[in-house]
Structure 1
Amino acid sequence: MKKSILILLFASILFACQTDDDIPLTYEEGTNEYVNDWIYTQMKRYYYWNESMPGKGNLSLPPKEYFATLVNKNDRFSYAIHTSSPETFPQSLQNSFGFDLSFIEYEGQVYGVVMYALSNSPAERNGLERGQLINAIGGTALSQGNYNSLYQNLLTAKEVKLQVVSYSEKSGFTAPKQINISQGFTFSQPVFSQVIPYQNHIVGYIEIPHFNAGLSKSLLKEFQTFKNQSVNEIVVDLRYNGGGDVSSAAALSVLLAPNIQSSNPFIRFKGNSNGGEVNQTFKESLEMNESQVSFEALRAAHPQTQRVYVLCGSHTASASEIIINNLKPFMEVITIGEKTVGKDVASFAVEDDRIVGAQAKWVLYPAIYKLFNANGEGNYAAGLQPNVVLNEFQKLEVFPLGNTNEVLLHQALNSISGNGRMMKAITTQTLQKQNLSIISEPMVIKKIWH
Structure 2
Amino acid sequence: MAKMKSLLAFLMIFSIILISSCREQEPEPEEFEKGTNEYVNNWIYDNMNLYYYWNEDLPDKSINGASPEDFFYSLLSNQDRFSWIQPNFQELLNSLQGITLESGYEYILYNDPNNENGVIGQIAYVKNGSPAEQSGLKRGDLFTKINGGALTLDNYRDQLGNLSQNHTLTIERYDFENEEFLEIGDFELGAVQFAENPNHLDTVYTRNGKKIGYYVYNLFSVGIDTDSAKYAEEMDQIFEQFKSEGIDHLVLDLRYNGGGAERATINLASLIGSNISEQDIFVKRDYNEGLKQAFIDEYGEDFLNRKFVQKTQNIGSNLKSPQLTVLTSTRTASASELLINGLNPFMETFIIGDTTVGKNVGSTSFYEENNPDNTWGMQPIITKSFNSLNQSDYDLGFYPDIPLRDNSLVKLDLGDVNEKLLREALIYLAGSDEVSRQTKLQEISAKDLMGSMELKRRFGIYDIDLK
SS at the partner of 2:259? coil
Counterpart of 1:167 in structure 2 is: 174
1:49 aligned residue? 54
User: 1:303: which partner in 2?
Assistant: 318
Within 5 A, what are the aligned runs for 1:231-270?
A: 231-270=247-286
Cα distance change of structure 1 residues 127 and 65 upon mapping to structure 2, 3 Å threshold: farther
Structure 2 residue runs of 5 or longer lacking an equivalent are: 1-24, 223-228, 293-300, 434-439
Q: Equivalent residue for 2:445?
A: 428
Deviation sequence 1:345-373 (CA, Å, 0-9, x none): 212222236xx664962222110001111
Amino acid aligned to 1:400? D
- Is 2:408 the partner of 1:404? no
Letter in 2 for 1:280: N
Distance 1:252 1:201 in 2: 23
- 1:207 maps to 2:216: yes
For residues 285-317 of structure 1, the C-alpha deviation after alignment (integer angstroms, 9 at most, x for no partner) is: x4xxxxxxxx04234785333411111112222
Specify whether residues 122 and 78 from structure 1 end up closer, same or farther in structure 2 by C-alpha distance, changes over 3 A only: farther
Residue 7 of structure 2 corresponds to none
Name the structure 1 match of 2:458.
440
User: Which moved further from structure 2: 76-85 or 33-42?
Assistant: 76-85
Tell me: CA distance 1:300–1:179, structure 2 relative to 1, closer, same or farther (3 Å): closer
1:245 & 1:126 partners in 2: Cα distance?
31
**Contact persistence 1:134–1:163 (CA under 8 A):** yes
Secondary structure in 2 aligned to 1:165? strand
Does residue 36 (structure 1) correspond to residue 36 (structure 2)? The answer is: no
Deviation at 1:229, TM superposition (A): 1.6
Instruction: Check whether the contact 1:265–1:279 (CA below 8 A) recurs between aligned residues.
Output: no
2:379 aligns with one of 336, 346, 365: 365
SS in 1 for 2:450: coil
Q: Deviations over 1:147-193 (max 9, x none)?
A: xx414541475344321110033133223411233431212415221
The answer to whether residue 124 in structure 2 is matched with residue 115 in structure 1 is yes
Aligned-CA RMSD value: 3.3
Aligned-partner residue type, residue 373 of structure 1: N
Give the Cα–Cα distance (whole angstroms) in 1 for the partners of residues 335 and 445 of structure 2: 31
1:125: how far off? 3.5
Q: Deviations over 1:431-450 (max 9, x none)?
A: 323999774354332214xx
What amino acid maps onto 1:96 in structure 2? E
Report the Cα offset of residue 411 of structure 1. Answer: 0.6
Deviation track 1:88-140 (CA, whole Å, cap 9, x = no partner) reads 99799975333222233565144211111212234333332211011223433
Tell me if the contact between 1:96 and 1:183 (Cα under 8 Å) persists in the aligned partners. Answer: yes
Structure 1 unaligned residues grouped into runs of 5+? 1-19, 287-294
Contact 1:82 1:88 in 2 (8 A): no
Q: Are 1:54 and 1:70, in contact at CA under 8 Å, matched by a contact in 2? A: yes
- State how far apart, in whole Å, the 2-side matches of 1:303 and 1:136 are: 49
Q: How many residues align?
A: 412
Which of these residues, 101, 104, 107, is aligned with residue 107 of structure 2? 101
Which residue of structure 2 lines up, in the alignment, with residue 226 of structure 1? 242
Query: Which has the bigger relative contact order, CA under 8 A and spacing at least 6?
Result: 2
- Find the residue that maps to 1:166 and give its secondary structure: strand
| Letter matched to residue 60 of structure 2 | G
C-alpha distance in 2 between matches for 1:434 and 1:299: 34
Q: Secondary structure at the match of 2:313?
A: helix
TM norm structure 1: 0.81
Conserved? CA contact 2:342–2:387, under 8 Å: yes
Match of 1:128 among 132, 137, 140: 137
The answer on whether the counterparts of 1:347 and 1:366 sit within 8 Å (CA) in structure 2 is yes
Note the C-alpha offset of 1:31.
0.9
Do the aligned partners of 2:327 and 2:353 also contact (CA within 8 Å) in 1? yes
CA contact (8 A) 1:267 1:372 kept: yes
Residue of structure 2 in register with 1:3 after alignment: none
CA deviation string 1:70-102 (max 9, x = no partner): 122332321223337869997999753332222
The answer to whether structure 1 residue 142 and structure 2 residue 151 are counterparts is yes
Give the fraction of aligned pairs with identical amino acids, expressed as a percent.
28
- Secondary structure of the structure 1 residue equivalent to 2:120: strand
What is the one-letter code of the residue matched to 1:399? L
How many Å separate the matches in 2 of 1:74 and 1:437? Answer: 21
Residue aligned with 1:412, SS: helix
**For the residues of structure 1 that align with 2:48 and 2:102, how far apart are their CA atoms?**
29
